[in-house]
Amino acid sequence: MTPGLLLALAAGGLLAGLIFGPGRPRVWLALTLTGNAAALGAALLVLFHGADWTWRGGWPVAGELPWLRLDGISAWFLALLGVGGGAGAVYAQEYWADAHHPDSAPRSRRWWNAMGLSMGLVLLSSNGLHFLIAWELFAVSSYFLVTLDRERKEVRAAGWLYLAASHAGTLCLFGFFALLAVRTGSWELGPLHDHADLAPLFWLALFGFGVKAGLFPLHLWLPSAHANAPSHVSALMSGVAIKMGIYGIVRFSGWLPVPAAAGWVVISLGAVSALVGITFALAQNDLKRLLAYCSVENVGIIMVGLGGALLGARHGEAPWGRLLLAGALLHIWNHGLFKSLLFYSAGSVLHATGTREISRLGGLWRAMPWTAALFALGAAAVSGLPPLNGFVSEWLVYLGLLDAAAGHGRPAWAAMPAAIMLAMAGALALAGFLKAGALVFLGAPRTPAATHAHEGGRLLRGPMLALAGACVAAGLAPLLLWPAVARAVAAWHPAWTAGPAPAALTTLSLAQVVLAVLFLAAGVALWRRVRACGLRRAPTWDCGFAAPTARMQYTGGSFAGITTGWFSWLLLPERLLRRPRGPFPAQAGRSEYLPETVLERIVVPAGEAVMRASTAARRLQHGRLQFYIVYLAGGLIVLALLVWLEGMP
Amino acid sequence: MILEILLRLVLWLLLAPLLPGIINKVKAWVAGRRGPPVLQLYYDLARLWRKSAVLSTLASPAFVAGPAVAWVALAGAALLMPLGPAGGAVSFRGDVLLLVYLFAVARFCTAWAALETGSAFEGMGAAREVSYAVLAEVALITAVLSLSVQTGSVTLVTMLAPATGAGAVLLAGGLFAVLLAENCRVPFDDPNTHLELTMIHEVMVLDHSGPPFAVILHGASLKLMLFAVLLSQAVLPVAELTPAAATIVLAGAVLAVTVGVGLVESLLARFAFRRVPLLLTTAFLLCLFALLLAWKGGAA
């Protein structure tokens, strides 16, 4: 099997699913799984064995000859697409079943494949024009997936916001590719390191792709789109789609020369994104919105790695530059795995209880043991805890940063603050996922909906189990992935050729395996000891105030209260407190609303100001001819004055 | 190799419960009481290990597994910690990051187990634990950065070659504050009581009993000893001494830190909670200045 054949199979499978699948769920699932598996196979083949795959079409499409290329970097992202697309297809079969959504389930299937195909095309296109076409198809098909449930108002609003933000980014990309084509004289893309004049174009690419990647402060579409989309779509958006933005930044920072400040800007944006993203995540009360903001954090971590790699490349520091890039790339995969797992778990919770609000759930582990255990695993992975996969990639990033700091060069001034901010983000992520996991799954059910929850079926659990297995495997055996990482790194920077895995990684993976075994053994051993000593069940003691109502448990807001208090200058929460008054207090309450700071405090007011100014300017246009003649005369006089003043000595 | 690892592990596990005993003795001594025997924690652990456990009706199996995993994480951290000229049992580039993250594992599991009970008390304790750990972790990473800038190394064995003068003093101050916060001692937390609304660690373990509680207590003492050893080696050049001298110096330093904790506990009152972040930020700033000094020193 060659990559070309597998890619043809992938395209064929997805296309056939797109055409014949919408009305036939089983056929669609088979075709889509085949397609995604073939895409994954092609990517792995390029990453682990063969050389790059390229293909030039013989007939023009939109005036340009097609040129497809699968190299280390695009294969890296294509593998993620194959996994995310396949797992989501299985999950959607039960989660968005025809029985419950007769109207939108066929649409879901159609747009799912359209989105997979267009993302694949984005990754493969080596021609600016075709890249733009694929990018636009990708944006539109993901818009239709996000708005599957379009009867709900907030879904439509989220969809519009996504479409608008996405096109603001695409506008920059039009500029980027057009300028690139003008300066190089061709739409074809490839390594162009000798064109130093192309460097400033990097800023356009950073903005355009940054919007899609959800980099702070360009993330404003991301929380509502992720939260309101059906969960299989949220997982695809967060696990794979935002990675397309990262792909763009990685791809063009590798192919084109970059400005001197690029590394500094990217690493700063990344560190800020990580910290701000996780701060917002911790404050959320909506489970899926929390996960969405956490994506902003993880994109930040990836950007810290990439920014560090750019600094390493500029300062000729291959050893730690390579580590940082490897960490960033590995984190792209890892985030795709555990974030999809978390979104699927959140989807199962939503499916079982009908609510995403953390403070209305609780005690779900009894009804949904699988989902609870898998969510806990995902939460540990996303918090970067050993021995799971999140730790390996974060370890590589930290190691690169520490090396850069220890190197005493100028890059240390970026590496040291970035490491400190990442440490803070890491501890906040732990708090955030403890909140999400524990308040949703532990304790007593807070509402009847949570009491009557039920475990999802096999098709919901299957993909989650597979992803959880991948998280564990990638954590325990990162060495198996190293050849692929090394290949992708070499594709980004040809001088950083593939070397053997760092010796420390070998020891680390051994330590991870030992830790995993000991964790399991200790848990089992202590459980047996407790059983042997005798074990009694009683209500929670709680300092003698036993078994109060479930609503007296700690809520999400109270759990996050300390940290959200520190960051209230950023979160700007709106609190409403009605104190109990009088000897017979009737009603009292406290509510808190958390605005989307960037959207509601900056973008919307700015938009309103523009609208007000436009409305005011419209008064000039009233349809009275005599005034128009006055405008004309006034304009002419001003022009004449200008000419006269220019003519004066 | 395996034998050495086992030997070290036994040493760590056996010695760790001594530290809380010493602290309590110091506190009793300052207060003019006789106090519990230094070996009290050993008796407690033996007793708890044999007792039967009462589990909350709400708790899942993770209520028991959590403390076990946390304990393994701390024992693993003990194996990473170098001991003077003997080095670490396990040592590789970047092991210091694994050490920091093993502390995070322990924190995650303890807090998870606390939240199993659905009690607002334990929710409060867990929330405080993870929130204050944010600042403590920042200070800890800054301390790690300063050591790493100082020595140009990212391996614990070689990076624990301490600065001299002001840098060492700053680092010692910062790390001592982190030690107090991470181990829930006064002025951050009061380990004597769990019946007030202001507790952190003690309130998290309110509903634990029997063997899991023994594991939690032992893990806590292990963590205290880990921080004490880290602090001692970050400030004193233990690695450069002969094995005999190093043993004496390290033991003396750990004893001094422990007595220091006891004295702080006797002479200071617990701070109001709103002042805890301030204190931790001060610890961070101390570590940050140590980092800047290390930078100046290394560049010269």
Q: Which of B65, B144, B149 is the closest to A523 by Cβ?
A: B65
Residue A82, both tokens:
């194959």
In percent, the amount of chain B with pLDDT more than 90 equals 64
d(CA A484, CA A498): 9
How many CB pairs (< 8 A) connect A and B? 257
| pLDDT tens by residue, B90-143 | 899 999 999 999 999 999 999 999 999 888 888 888 999 999 999 999 999 999
DSSP state letter for B194: S
Residue A158: per-residue pLDDT: 93
Residue B213, both tokens:
């509680």
Cβ neighbors of A221 (< 8 A, separation 6 or more) are A158, A161, A162, A164, A165, A166, A211, A214
Distances (CA, A) of A64 to A58, A68, A188, A220: 10, 12, 9, 35
Residue A370 near residue A455 (C-beta atoms within 8 A): yes
B62/A contact by beta carbon, under 8 A:
yes
Distances (CA, A) of B179 to A485, B42, B112, B131, B186: 38, 22, 22, 16, 11
d(CA A340, CA A144): 19
| pLDDT tens by residue, B43-63 | 999 999 999 999 988 899 999
The answer to whether the CB atoms of B52 and A538 lie below 8 A apart is: no
Strands A589-593 and A67-70: unpaired
Average pLDDT value for residue range A281-299: 94
Q: φ, ψ for residue A61 (rounded to 5)?
A: -115, 125
- Find residues 349-388 of chain A whose CB sits inside 8 Å of chain B: 362-363, 365-366, 369, 372, 376, 380, 383-386
Task: Specify the range with the lowest mean pLDDT, choosing from A220-224, A303-307, B197-201.
Answer: B197-201
Cα–Cα–Cα angle for A79, A83, A85, rounded to 5 degrees: 110
Residue A441 near residue A364 (C-beta atoms within 8 A): yes
Q: Which chain B residues are closer than 8 Å to A440 by Cβ?
A: none
Task: Specify the range with the lowest mean pLDDT, choosing from A67-71, A161-165, B195-199.
Answer: B195-199
Residue A214, both tokens:
């959800």
| pLDDT tens by residue, B158-178 | 888 777 778 889 999 999 999
- Find residues 507-526 of chain A whose CB sits inside 8 Å of chain B: 507-508, 511, 515, 518-519, 522-523, 525-526
B15/A contact by beta carbon, under 8 A:
no
Q: φ, ψ for residue A102 (rounded to 5)?
A: -60, -30
Cβ neighbors of A566 (< 8 A, separation 6 or more) are B277
Average pLDDT value for residue range A282-307: 94
Distances (CA, A) of A401 to A115, A258, B168, B178: 36, 21, 23, 22
Distances (CA, A) of B190 to B112, B143, B195: 21, 25, 10
- Find residues 226-265 of chain B whose CB sits inside 8 Å of chain A: none
Residue A409, both tokens:
């060069």
- Distance between B147 CA and the closest CA of chain A, angstroms: 9
- Find residues 537-556 of chain A whose CB sits inside 8 Å of chain B: 537-543, 548, 550, 552-554
Residue B220 near residue B200 (C-beta atoms within 8 A): no
Q: Which of A431, A538, A558 is the closest to B134 by Cβ?
A: A431
Average pLDDT value for residue range A350-354: 91
**What is the reported pTM?**
0.94
Average pLDDT value for residue range A94-123: 93
| pLDDT tens by residue, A36-95 | 999 999 999 999 987 889 998 888 888 889 999 999 999 999 999 999 999 999 999 999
B143/A contact by beta carbon, under 8 A:
no
Q: Which of A427, A439, A541 is the closest to B133 by Cβ?
A: A427
Question: Which amino acid, A361?
Answer: L
Please check whether residue B24 lies inside any domain of the structure: yes
Cα–Cα–Cα angle for A242, A247, A251, rounded to 5 degrees: 160
A287-314 vs A412-441: helix crossing angle, rounded to 10: 160
The answer to whether the CB atoms of A538 and B56 lie below 8 A apart is: yes
d(CA A108, CA A98): 10
d(CA A346, CA A372): 10
DSSP state letter for B86: G
Distances (CA, A) of B71 to A623, A642, B60, B68, B77: 81, 82, 18, 5, 10
B215/A contact by beta carbon, under 8 A:
yes
What 3-state class would DSSP assign to A626?
A: helix
The answer to whether the CB atoms of B154 and A399 lie below 8 A apart is: yes
Give me the sign of the Cα torsion angle A385, A390, A395, A398: negative
Q: Which chain B residues are closer than 8 Å to A372 by Cβ?
A: 60
- Give Rg (Cα) of chain A: 27
Residue A196: per-residue pLDDT: 84
What 3-state class would DSSP assign to B275?
A: helix
Residue A412 near residue A519 (C-beta atoms within 8 A): no
Number of folded domains that form chain B: 1
Q: Which of B105, B138, B207 is the closest to A424 by Cβ?
A: B138
Cβ neighbors of A228 (< 8 A, separation 6 or more) are A146, A149, A152, A154, A155, A158, A159
3-state helix, strand, coil in chain A (%, to 5): 75, 5, 25
Q: φ, ψ for residue A97 (rounded to 5)?
A: -75, 155
Question: Which of B51, B55, B63, B64 has the highest number of chain A CBs within 10 A, making it the mutation to test binding with A?
Answer: B64
d(CA A428, CA A275): 8
Q: Which chain A residues are closer than 8 Å to B107 by Cβ?
A: 430
Residue B221 near residue B16 (C-beta atoms within 8 A): yes
Residue B293 near residue B167 (C-beta atoms within 8 A): yes
Average pLDDT, chain B: 90
Residue B253, both tokens:
């330093």
- If we measure between CA atoms, which residue out of A304, A149, A280 comes closest to residue A219? A280
Question: Which of B47, B55, B56 has the highest number of chain A CBs within 10 A, making it the mutation to test binding with A?
Answer: B56
d(CA A193, CA A181): 15
* Residue B299 pLDDT greater than 50, yes or no: no
Q: Do you find a cis peptide bond into A217, omega within 30 degrees of 0?
A: yes
| pLDDT tens by residue, A391-405 | 999 999 999 999 999
Residue B196: per-residue pLDDT: 58
| pLDDT tens by residue, A593-618 | 888 888 888 889 999 999 999 999 98
Average pLDDT value for residue range B182-211: 80
The answer to whether the CB atoms of A538 and B116 lie below 8 A apart is: no
- Distance between B115 CA and the closest CA of chain A, angstroms: 6
- Find residues 155-174 of chain B whose CB sits inside 8 Å of chain A: none
Average pLDDT value for residue range A633-639: 95
A390 to chain B: nearest residue by CA?
B101
* Reported confidence tier of residue B300, pLDDT bands at 50, 70, 90: very low
The answer to whether the CB atoms of B126 and A428 lie below 8 A apart is: no
HSE-up of residue A542 (Cα within 13 Å, Cβ side)? 25
Q: Which residues pair with A64 in a beta bridge?
A: A61
Strands A589-593 and A574-578: antiparallel
Residue A536 near residue B54 (C-beta atoms within 8 A): yes
B145 to chain A: nearest residue by CA?
A402
Residue A457: per-residue pLDDT: 86
- Distance between B171 CA and the closest CA of chain A, angstroms: 16
- If we measure between CA atoms, which residue out of A45, A554, A420, A518 comes closest to residue B124? A554
d(CA A181, CA A130): 12
| pLDDT tens by residue, B255-268 | 999 999 999 999 98
Average pLDDT value for residue range A345-369: 91
d(CA A305, CA A308): 5
Please check whether residue B278 lies inside any domain of the structure: yes
Average pLDDT, chain A: 91
The answer to whether the CB atoms of B108 and A536 lie below 8 A apart is: no
- If we measure between CA atoms, which residue out of A218, A215, A251, A214 comes closest to residue A234? A214
Average pLDDT value for residue range B17-21: 94
Q: Which of A395, A540, A558 is the closest to B118 by Cβ?
A: A540
Cβ neighbors of B108 (< 8 A, separation 6 or more) are A380, A383, A385, A430, A434
Please check whether residue B5 lies inside any domain of the structure: no
Residue scoring higher pLDDT (B188 or A125) = A125
Q: Which chain B residues are closer than 8 Å to A402 by Cβ?
A: 94, 96-97, 144-145, 148, 154
Q: Which residues pair with A127 in a beta bridge?
A: A188
For residue B186, give its domain range: 16-294
How would you class A221 by CB atoms within 10 Å of its CB: exposed for 0-12, middle for 13-18, buried for 19 or more? Answer: buried
